[in-house]
Amino acid sequence: AIALLCGGAVVALNIFGSASLMLTGVYSGVVMLYVLMVYAIRCQWAEALGVAFMIFGYLVQVGLAPKCGDDAYADCFRACPLPAPYFNHNALFHWLFAVGLAILALAMNADPETSTTEPYTPMAQMAAVAEGARRAPTKDKPCLMCC
């Protein structure tokens, strides 16, 4: 609920206030870090890898912006390690984000979170989690959750 309220506040600020790409990026980064930690704690390593690719894309875009972005236009992108302006930090960000999103989608499709054999109800979900029936750590599967 808090994430939804914060997301709504970011959207409202961008619509009614001054648009801030930095604010949107920071909020997205915090959400991605949270999702990465949830997948890591639950030992869903393929999903965590996909989210890590997306976070790495954010870091590449922010890290290479001074050398490959608008500020580097004056010296013809000489300091940029990428073949700018044809493939710059923004293109690399989108490529890494797309690869991460594809990994996440494939992992979630291969091992879905919900069961299609029985209908989803919040009480049944809470009972399954309480009993440890869902994604419980096993001896042969290392996990960050202690049990």
146 confidence band (pLDDT: 50, 70, 90): very low
For Cα atoms 48, 34, 140, give the angle at the middle one, nearest 5 degrees. 40
CA distance 103 to 57: 14
For Cα atoms 103, 104, 105, give the angle at the middle one, nearest 5 degrees. 90
Mean pLDDT is lowest, of 2-11, 23-32, 58-67, 85-94, for: 2-11
Q: So where are the chain's domains?
A: 2-131
Can you give the pLDDT at residue 47? 94
Instruction: Report the chain's terminal Cα–Cα distance, integer Å.
Output: 28
Pair of tokens at residue 45 = 């390593």
Residue 111: DSSP 8-state: S
Contacts for 43 with CB less than 8 Å, ≥ 6 apart: 135, 137, 141, 142, 143, 144, 145
pTM of the model: 0.69
Mean pLDDT of all residues in 25-38: 89
